[in-house]
Amino acid sequence: MTPHVSISDLAQHVGQTVTLKGWLYNSRSSGKLRFLLIRDGSGLCQCVVFKKDVSEDTFAAADALTQESSVEVTGTVRAEPRSPGGYELGVSEVQTIHLSHDFPITPKEHGVEFLADRRHLWIRSSRQQAILRVRHTLMKAIHDFFDSRGFLRFDAPIFTPAACEGTSTLFETPYFDEGSAYLTQSGQLYGEAGALAFGKVYVFGPVFRAEKSKTRKHLTEFWMVEPEVAFCDLEQDMDLMEEFLEHLVQTCLRERRPELELLERDIAALEQVQRPFPRIHYDEAVRLLNEELGEPMTWGDDFGAPHETALGNHFAPRPVMIHDWPVEVKAFYFKRTADGKYARGCDVIAPEGFGEIIGGGQREDDYDALLARIEEHKLPREAFDWYLDLRKYGSVPHAGFGLGVERTVAYICGIPHVRETLPFPRMMGRLTP
């Protein structure tokens, strides 16, 4: 029995005879040689079958392998700079586990709907694997960042009694005698309870938005990480956003360079994502758009995709932080400036057209002001009684934000559409596979 080794560990086995267990990614032949490109999930390895070195059965098995057939390949590991991972296998034995028939995704170009319908198979391709590995590293970097700074992970419920981010994007579902439940749009309100209990928390999980827009940035189910901090104002919140985003980008750059290179990401641009990021007032953003960037807009509106792209590109390669927004644009829970004109929120816009990746700000901590806001927005008072309690028992200034994982993965990988940034995307018009 030769040891079973992962392709990613081949460096430690040079000169040894090992077994790889995986699938045929690709193959080619040349005279008495067969080159099998094997993937095992950890990487790709070229396996060279030389007719005179193997039994007839093994050579025939190598010849018969079809794309995505499962296989065990035994051989000797040698360094080979031209092999994808830097090592290749001089094959002594090939054992077919299962022959695949007509794998639908071939090396030729396919339409994106064709691929999306076969997402369960598409995730076997090198590009998709590179993206999902960056996602994995990003998820871990998120946990590491907060864990090493004393934040407690605080899980919010997915069934909720009311809207957090506006009623137009709520998914509703029947809930026993209680009537309707709504799939959470954001764990923030629960995160605020956590912050007033533990000081610093982060909520991290899937959130749901019934987005009726078919854009390259909108999913109906996506992952959001939401830190929330007691005794924190907008300025300190922006410091945290900046430090966090720098950490995420630099960690992915450090740990996933081969993947980013495979994706042909402009790495120099990411290297420059270093603090401080530019901070501009909403009014200044509107002035820039109207007077310098040729993307006119009306004061008091939210930015559309072209505005975000123009602003993002203007400040590239760093993300830009836009703070203090007209109250009409922002949700009910924002703290306002003393004149009541601006919501103390901040959006972080990524360069290169990736748009808003962070939204957050300081929360209203005054009971009467918050109650008035809930009534203005015609939100069901009873569902917010517990939230109002947080302003009754030791209220403090507090702030937080939400970062969308998929938009961040798209930005770091430099891929235009969020549908490739998670294993099984859910969007308007897509519920399968």
* Least Cβ distance, residue 388 to ligand 4AD (angstroms): 17
C-beta nearest to Mg ion: residue:
359
Residues forming contacts to ligand 4AD in the complex (CB under 6 A) are: 164-165, 186, 188, 209, 211, 218-219, 222, 224, 226, 356-360, 400-402, 404, 406-407, 418
* Least Cβ distance, residue 347 to ligand 4AD (angstroms): 7
- Closest CA relative to residue 105, chosen from 218, 172, 26, 32: 26
* Least Cβ distance, residue 91 to Mg ion (angstroms): 54
When CB distances are held under 5 to 8 angstroms depending on the partner's kind, the choice from Mg ion, ligand 4AD, none that residue 321 binds is none
Asked if residue 317 has a cis previous peptide bond (ω within 30° of 0), the answer is: yes
Q: Does 359 bind Mg ion (CB under 5 A)?
A: yes
When CB distances are held under 5 to 8 angstroms depending on the partner's kind, the choice from Mg ion, ligand 4AD, none that residue 406 binds is ligand 4AD
**Rounded Cα distance, 197 and 344, in Å:** 23
Closer CB to ligand 4AD, 22 or 353, in the complex? 353
Closer CB to Mg ion, 322 or 427, in the complex? 322
Closer CB to ligand 4AD, 95 or 395, in the complex? 395
* Least Cβ distance, residue 356 to Mg ion (angstroms): 5
When CB distances are held under 5 to 8 angstroms depending on the partner's kind, the choice from Mg ion, ligand 4AD, none that residue 400 binds is ligand 4AD
Closer CB to Mg ion, 122 or 244, in the complex? 244
* Least Cβ distance, residue 345 to Mg ion (angstroms): 8
Neighbours of 102 (CB within 10 A): 8
**Rounded Cα distance, 276 and 279, in Å:** 9
Closer CB to ligand 4AD, 59 or 190, in the complex? 190
Look at the block and give the residue holding tokens 């009694």: 161
Look at the block and give the residue holding tokens 């109650």: 371
* Least Cβ distance, residue 209 to Mg ion (angstroms): 11
* Least Cβ distance, residue 317 to ligand 4AD (angstroms): 19
Q: In what order do the strands lie in the sheet with 159-160?
A: 159-160, 180-183, 172-174
When CB distances are held under 5 to 8 angstroms depending on the partner's kind, the choice from Mg ion, ligand 4AD, none that residue 351 binds is none
When CB distances are held under 5 to 8 angstroms depending on the partner's kind, the choice from ligand 4AD, Mg ion, none that residue 358 binds is ligand 4AD
CB 412 within 8 Å of CB 98: no
Look at the block and give the residue holding tokens 């912050």: 195
* Least Cβ distance, residue 39 to ligand 4AD (angstroms): 30
Closer CB to Mg ion, 347 or 364, in the complex? 347
* Least Cβ distance, residue 253 to ligand 4AD (angstroms): 20
Closer CB to ligand 4AD, 88 or 165, in the complex? 165
Closer CB to ligand 4AD, 7 or 162, in the complex? 162
Per the document, the length of the chain is 433
When CB distances are held under 5 to 8 angstroms depending on the partner's kind, the choice from ligand 4AD, Mg ion, none that residue 364 binds is none
Closer CB to Mg ion, 191 or 359, in the complex? 359
* Least Cβ distance, residue 282 to ligand 4AD (angstroms): 14
Which residues make up the interface to Mg ion (CB under 5 A)?
359
